[in-house]
Amino acid sequence: MGRSPITLPTMDAHSENEDDVPHQISVMNETADEDIVPQRIVDALRAVLQQHDRPTCTLSVALVDDARMSDLHEQYLGISGTTDVLTFDLDESDPDVVDGEIIICADTARRESAARGHAVADEILLYAVHGCLHLLGYDDHDADEAAAMHAREDELLALVGVGPVYRRSAS
């Protein structure tokens, strides 16, 4: 998006030893949802980055509720109401550099996972992968790009043992 970053305070999970691991990925869970496992998000994002041959990155992920997401959606996109995920590219000058923030709405994930009949953690992984793909240059503004991006999401989620999430239809 190229906007100012969201300041993320303390983090719940980090890439192992950040001095030794090229993927510096932090996850902060602002929600009370105990089903969210930050390390699972870190591991999935690391796999996505490895699949796209990105040896280094700095990435922050925040899980927020509807109220916080609505505020951010309005502030940064001028759109009222909540959304599933917002992505902020903090270094648009070099397409090989992944430096960004992914904001995930846990409340939206809970609603969507209930409608689709799978775990909220799987829906959150979908949003994390989706945000990461945006940082890698994928786009979903037209039907063909969206189809390609969603197919890649399902491939990557299968790679990390989740299986396709996007293609599961809501009841």
Mean pLDDT estimate for the chain: 84
Please say whether the beta carbons of 62 and 6 come within 8 A.
Answer: yes
Q: What mean pLDDT is predicted for residues 86-103?
A: 89
Strands 85-89 and 98-105: antiparallel
Closest CA to 14 of 50, 51, 57, 72: 57
Q: What is the pTM of this model?
A: 0.84
- State the amino acid at position 78 in one-letter form: G
Domain boundaries, the chain: 13-159
Say how far apart CA 117 and CA 135 lie, in whole Å.
Answer: 28
Q: For the segment 8-65, what is each residue's pLDDT rounded down to a tens digit?
A: 333 344 444 444 557 899 999 988 777 788 999 999 999 999 999 987 889 999 999 9
Looking at residue 33, its pLDDT comes to 75
Q: How confident is the model at residue 66 (pLDDT cuts 50, 70, 90)?
A: very high
Cross-strand partners of 102? 61, 87
CATH hierarchy code of domain 13-159: 3.40.390.30
